[in-house]
């Protein structure tokens, strides 16, 4: 998707956000992704109005198939699966978002520092990163989550402590290329402080690729958090977390596949939506398209 000069000038006049939205508008798959995400977010907010009590046990109606009252049937404790899925959005999305925020808050500053300072600082940071990267991150997260004990906050801590290295490495690579640009030298020559250069000249250049990576990672995080919950480390019963729901449904796969089918579909849809949006954003935020004429 290339823009003409006039369009680009228009983009600059209207600011980055509008130009990105305008470009996204031409990308159907990304729009689909965005649509799904917005719908899921809306569902999360509207949960109390559209769903029944997700933890109300009714053993008389256990493992019921779809019906007017329970559109997706009930689980092994007679709880409404649709209601649990709807309330599940209140668990999965915020915890994934929060984890991502923590990851970025750690990874971006460390990456900028490492890339900008270079030398010994860079060496030390990058060796730590190498060590963490050399270890399968999911296994490491499992170990940390296992040590901290089950619970969503512990999952967050575990994931953030292994995942920030990816951002540090990614950001450092961008900083290395931005740092060599002449405008950074010019800024130093006019007496701008190192902190000033890092925050005002380098950070903005780093942000747009990081936004793309973060969008794609949001999907991955939802998946991993569900995975950890599935293994019993994340959300604890009776919390309606999607991964935990998968785990709950496991013994009944043959008699009542809806217990695992619907949470699985929900996870897949949301992850797919974030991936589609991330791909679209990557195209829309490509600096080669907006910065140079």
Partner 1 sequence: MPGNSVLEVSNLATCFTGSAGVVKAVNGVTFAVKAGQTLGVVGESGCGKSVMCLSLVGLIGPPGRIVSGEVWLNGQDLLQLSPKEIRRVRGREIALVFQDPMTSLNPILTVGTQLTETIVSHEEVSKAEARRRALELLARVGLPDPERLMRRYPFQLSGGMCQRVMIAMALSLQPKVLIADEPTTALDVTVQAQILAELKRLQKELGMAIVLITHDLGVVAAMADEVAVMYAGSIVEYGPTVEIFASPGHPYTRALLRSVPRLGGEEELAPIEGQPPTLLNPPGYCAFLPRCTQAGEECSGDKPGLHPFGPGRYVACCLRGER
- Please compute, for residue 206, the number of CA atoms within 13 A of its CA located in the half-sphere on the CB side: 29
Which x/- pattern, by CB under 8 A, does the window 201-230 give for partner 1?
x--xx-------------------------
Q: Residue 61 is inside which H or E element, if any?
A: none
CB of 191 to partner 1, least distance (A): 4
Number of residues that bind partner 1 (CB under 8 A): 24
CB of 203 to partner 1, least distance (A): 11
Among 149, 190, 254, 288, binds partner 1 (CB under 8 A): 190
Residue 187: left (phi > 0), alpha (psi -120 to 50), or beta? alpha
Residue 251's CB is within 10 A of a number of other CB atoms, namely 11
- Residue nearer to partner 1 on the CB measure, 54 or 209: 209
Q: CA-to-CA distance for 173 and 226, rounded, in angstroms? A: 31
Site for partner 1 contains 189 (CB under 8 A): yes
Closest to 156 in 3D by CA, of 111, 216, 244, 222 = 222
- For residue 1, give Cα distances in angstroms to 7, 20, 23, 281, 282: 12, 12, 8, 12, 11
Task: Give the distance, in angstroms, between the CA of residue 271 and the centroid of all CA atoms in the same chain.
Answer: 9
CB of 118 to partner 1, least distance (A): 8
CB of 54 to partner 1, least distance (A): 46
Q: CA-to-CA distance for 2 and 288, rounded, in angstroms? A: 10
Q: Residue 266 is inside which H or E element, if any?
A: helix 258-284
- Residue nearer to partner 1 on the CB measure, 79 or 201: 201
Q: Are 119 and 113 in contact (CB under 8 A)?
A: no
Which x/- pattern, by CB under 8 A, does the window 127-166 give for partner 1?
----------------------------------------
End-to-end CA distance of the chain: 15
Site for partner 1 contains 196 (CB under 8 A): yes
- Residue nearer to partner 1 on the CB measure, 171 or 223: 171
Site for partner 1 contains 12 (CB under 8 A): yes
Q: CA-to-CA distance for 144 and 147, rounded, in angstroms? A: 5
Which one of the spans 29-37, 104-112, 247-255, 285-293 is the region binding partner 1 (CB under 8 A)?
Answer: 285-293
Among 9, 41, 124, 153, binds partner 1 (CB under 8 A): 9
CB of 289 to partner 1, least distance (A): 12
- Residue nearer to partner 1 on the CB measure, 257 or 287: 287
Q: Are 169 and 106 in contact (CB under 8 A)?
A: no
Chain positions contacting partner 1, by CB under 8 A: 9, 12, 118-119, 181-183, 185-193, 196, 200-201, 204-205, 291-293
């Amino acid at each position: 998707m290339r823009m003409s000069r006039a369009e680009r000038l228009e983009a600059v006049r209207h600011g980055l956000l509008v130009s990105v939205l305008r470009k996204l508008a031409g990308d159907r798959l990304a729009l689909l992704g965005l649509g799904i995400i917005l719908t899921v977010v809306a569902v999360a907010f509207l949960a109390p109005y559209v769903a029944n009590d997700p933890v109300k046990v009714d053993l008389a109606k256990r493992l019921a198939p779809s019906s007017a009252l329970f559109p997706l049937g009930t689980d092994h404790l007679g709880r409404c699966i649709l209601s649990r899925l709807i309330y599940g959005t209140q668990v999965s999305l915020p915890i994934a978002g929060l984890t991502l925020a923590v990851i970025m808050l750690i990874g971006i500053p460390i990456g900028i520092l490492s890339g900008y300072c270079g030398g010994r600082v860079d060496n030390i940071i990058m060796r730590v990163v190498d060590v963490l990267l050399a270890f399968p991150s999911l296994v490491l997260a499992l170990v940390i989550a296992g040590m901290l004990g089950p619970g969503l906050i512990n999952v967050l801590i575990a994931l953030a402590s292994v995942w920030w290295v990816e951002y540090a490495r990614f950001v450092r690579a961008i900083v290395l290329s931005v740092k060599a640009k002449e405008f950074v030298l010019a800024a130093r020559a006019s007496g701008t402080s190192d902190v000033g250069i890092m925050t005002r000249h380098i950070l903005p250049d780093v942000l747009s690729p990081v936004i793309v990576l973060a969008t794609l990672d949001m999907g991955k995080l939802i998946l991993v958090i569900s995975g950890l919950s599935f293994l019993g480390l994340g959300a604890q019963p009776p919390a309606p977390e999607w991964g935990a729901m998968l785990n709950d449904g496991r013994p009944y796969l043959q008699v009542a596949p809806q217990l695992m089918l619907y949470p699985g579909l929900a996870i897949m849809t949301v992850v797919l939506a974030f991936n589609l949006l991330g791909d679209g954003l990557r195209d829309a935020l490509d600096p080669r398209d907006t910065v140079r004429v």
